[in-house]
Chains A and B, each alone.
Chain A
């Protein structure tokens, strides 16, 4: 499998008042194109931080993050924003839809940064909403949708630009079991059918089972790598 994301000895230290709080202590991992990777671990283990670094919304204190042979950790803020617009789709735990925009307009948001015409944007949005099964809720506002539907709109927003990577931070954390299963099946479908590379943070082993691979983090260290069926190999070691 072609390597899409290469993380080399990444460290992240947050400064809280006068204290340095190390969150990632030298993590190295590779993610292949078309992979579906789950990041698991207890609270404070650094999984969301690692996801944020891969998505280019945070910068490492040390180490390198290379996506498609480009070292994004060295990009300027403007270049990083432009890169995210073209290459990353985001799915958040609390959906984070814009409440004043309807489903169609929310999905259209990332396309406003492109040079697509209004007609082309409409086609893309319609396709994305069809994929997530919400073409009949196009003009509903977030408050008029259930949690599961909101998350599916968020997924449509994440895929509408056909990004290189989809990052999902606890995408089922706020959903009931049935809706969570629907969302996970949808993500698995995006991975299987559309060969989307997905990196997902989750606490839930059932959710992780939908992934092709699972990485386990603890205290900022990558401790083991599992497949959907169990422990496979320990591919990365902590470099404290």
Chain B
């Protein structure tokens, strides 16, 4: 690259302006990479059960409606089902509303077969199974509240009329979910007066090929009952759950696009100033024989490199920030195992390059097309 020195020196010819531009780009692309990574985090979470052959059966009316516990036995009669596990979203917090996290009542008899991707040491699971008020907790949550196995805790319910008092009996390990709490379904049912209702059923299907057929059979079975069901794959269920928060994806993408548009305008101002300051120099380059295409390329490379450096600083900075900042704690469990993911990083680097080309395109073209005589005559 014979021209690399010229490009490099021109990028940093006005050091303050270059640094401010890099910082602006870094801040914007840190923000965009964060938004896109939040979406990626959601998607990853929705794929947490990939390969687990799990179906989720909920009320056909809405997730907030309950189903009769008696449905379980009927579901079990469908061929191809390995096991069924009752589950109830409990929606409690610890001590203060800001300490909100995911907590569920679960049928401990079937938990290990249906959720076999949640690994609990046998001894700890045994202690949990022997304690009606036992609970299994994710490691991130243990860390967040400083809990230890054996601790006695009280959760405050936001939905149900009782506050479970629980004994932590074990810590599970899961590749993605590290911040949930599970307590026993029989404790929940007892506290609720054994009303025979439950939030949903998780169904383990023996063969992945039968997922669709089993799903259809379950819903067909209850279609004309007073409590019809709707059955989803685990991914569909998680995505439906997320969509209850509104169209976050559209919102995040819109914010990202607005930010990029804004940064293109800001970068265009900087690059126009830079090009304007160098009208005479560019005229000199053209006079000594630099062809128009070369002048245009040199300027575009310079502008694109400047914004790419900004984008890189933003995403590399973000990677470090999220390595040291516990986002699970900061977001009160909303984001689990959060960091900047490769796809958002790559998207941001490409976008930062695009910002340079788009913002610098007009000033670079104007400079490259200006006649040598006009350029030499111009007093800047």
Segment of B137-145, B251-259, B278-286, B335-343 engaged in the interface with chain A: B278-286
Closest residue of A by beta carbon distance from B379 = A94
CB within 8 Å for A84 and B371 given contacts A98-B281, A99-B13: no
Closest residue of B by beta carbon distance from A86 = B289
**A81 within 8 A of partner (CB):** yes
Contact string against B for A residues 74-106, beta-carbon threshold 8 Å, 1 for contact and 0 otherwise: 000110011111101010100010111100010
**B324 within 8 A of partner (CB):** no
B252 to chain A, nearest CB (A): 41
A2 to chain B, nearest CB (A): 24
Do A84 and B281 touch across chains, with their CB atoms under 8 A apart?
no
**A109 within 8 A of partner (CB):** yes
| Cβ contacts under 8 Å, B293 to chain A | 78
Do A96 and B372 touch across chains, with their CB atoms under 8 A apart?
no
| Cβ contacts under 8 Å, B6 to chain A | 98, 100-101, 105, 109, 112
**A157 within 8 A of partner (CB):** yes
B284 to chain A, nearest CB (A): 5
**B20 within 8 A of partner (CB):** no
Do B371 and A90 touch across chains, with their CB atoms under 8 A apart?
no
**A37 within 8 A of partner (CB):** no
**In A104-148, which residues have CB < 8 Å from any B CB?**
105, 109-110, 112-113
| Cβ contacts under 8 Å, A92 to chain B | 284, 376
Do A112 and B13 touch across chains, with their CB atoms under 8 A apart?
no
**B2 within 8 A of partner (CB):** yes
Do A96 and B373 touch across chains, with their CB atoms under 8 A apart?
no
**B10 within 8 A of partner (CB):** yes
| Cβ contacts under 8 Å, B285 to chain A | 98, 109
A85 vs B292: C-alpha distance when bound (angstroms): 13
A128 to chain B, nearest CB (A): 13
A39 vs B306: C-alpha distance when bound (angstroms): 44
CB within 8 Å for A96 and B284 given contacts A101-B6, A101-B9: yes
B285 to chain A, nearest CB (A): 7
**In A34-82, which residues have CB < 8 Å from any B CB?**
52, 55, 57-58, 77-78, 81-82
A211 vs B280: C-alpha distance when bound (angstroms): 28
B166 to chain A, nearest CB (A): 68
**B287 within 8 A of partner (CB):** yes
Q: Pick the contact of A81: B10, B284, B289, B371 (CB < 8 A).
A: B289
Closest residue of A by beta carbon distance from B369 = A77
Do A96 and B2 touch across chains, with their CB atoms under 8 A apart?
no
| Cβ contacts under 8 Å, A109 to chain B | 6, 285, 288
CB within 8 Å for A82 and B376 given contacts A92-B284, A100-B9: no
**B290 within 8 A of partner (CB):** yes
| Cβ contacts under 8 Å, B286 to chain A | 57, 81
A105 vs B286: C-alpha distance when bound (angstroms): 16
**Interface of A, helix, strand, loop or mixed by DSSP:** helix
| Cβ contacts under 8 Å, A82 to chain B | 289, 291
Q: How large is the interface on B (under 10, 10 to 19, 20 to 34, 35 or more residues)?
A: 20 to 34
A201 to chain B, nearest CB (A): 13
Do A78 and B5 touch across chains, with their CB atoms under 8 A apart?
no
CB within 8 Å for A84 and B288 given contacts A96-B281, A100-B13, A105-B5: yes
Do A55 and B287 touch across chains, with their CB atoms under 8 A apart?
yes
Do A112 and B3 touch across chains, with their CB atoms under 8 A apart?
yes
| Cβ contacts under 8 Å, B284 to chain A | 90, 92, 96, 98
| Cβ contacts under 8 Å, B5 to chain A | 101, 105
A88 vs B3: C-alpha distance when bound (angstroms): 21
Contact string against A for B residues 280-321, beta-carbon threshold 8 Å, 1 for contact and 0 otherwise: 110011111111110000000000000000000000000000
B206 to chain A, nearest CB (A): 70
| Cβ contacts under 8 Å, B280 to chain A | 96
Closest residue of B by beta carbon distance from A98 = B281
A52 vs B9: C-alpha distance when bound (angstroms): 29
Do A113 and B290 touch across chains, with their CB atoms under 8 A apart?
yes
A113 vs B280: C-alpha distance when bound (angstroms): 19
Q: Pick the contact of A78: B3, B10, B288, B292 (CB < 8 A).
A: B292
B126 to chain A, nearest CB (A): 73
A85 vs B287: C-alpha distance when bound (angstroms): 8
Do A52 and B281 touch across chains, with their CB atoms under 8 A apart?
no
Do A100 and B291 touch across chains, with their CB atoms under 8 A apart?
no
Do A110 and B289 touch across chains, with their CB atoms under 8 A apart?
yes
Do B376 and A81 touch across chains, with their CB atoms under 8 A apart?
no
| Cβ contacts under 8 Å, A99 to chain B | 13, 281
Closest residue of B by beta carbon distance from A96 = B284
A82 vs B376: C-alpha distance when bound (angstroms): 19
Contact string against A for B residues 1-26, beta-carbon threshold 8 Å, 1 for contact and 0 otherwise: 01101100110010000000000000
A84 to chain B, nearest CB (A): 5
Q: Pick the contact of A57: B9, B281, B292, B372 (CB < 8 A).
A: B372
| Cβ contacts under 8 Å, B10 to chain A | 100
Do A85 and B372 touch across chains, with their CB atoms under 8 A apart?
no
Do A81 and B291 touch across chains, with their CB atoms under 8 A apart?
yes
A105 vs B149: C-alpha distance when bound (angstroms): 70
Do B288 and A157 touch across chains, with their CB atoms under 8 A apart?
yes
| Cβ contacts under 8 Å, A52 to chain B | 372-373
CB within 8 Å for A112 and B2 given contacts A84-B287, A157-B288: yes
Q: A100-B10, A105-B5 are known contacts; what are 12 more A-B pairs with Cβ within 8 Å? A: A57-B376, A81-B289, A84-B288, A88-B288, A92-B284, A98-B281, A98-B285, A99-B13, A101-B5, A105-B6, A113-B289, A157-B288
A-B residue pairs, 10 tightest by C-beta: A85-B289, A100-B9, A57-B372, A81-B291, A96-B284, A84-B289, A112-B2, A110-B288, A100-B13, A58-B373
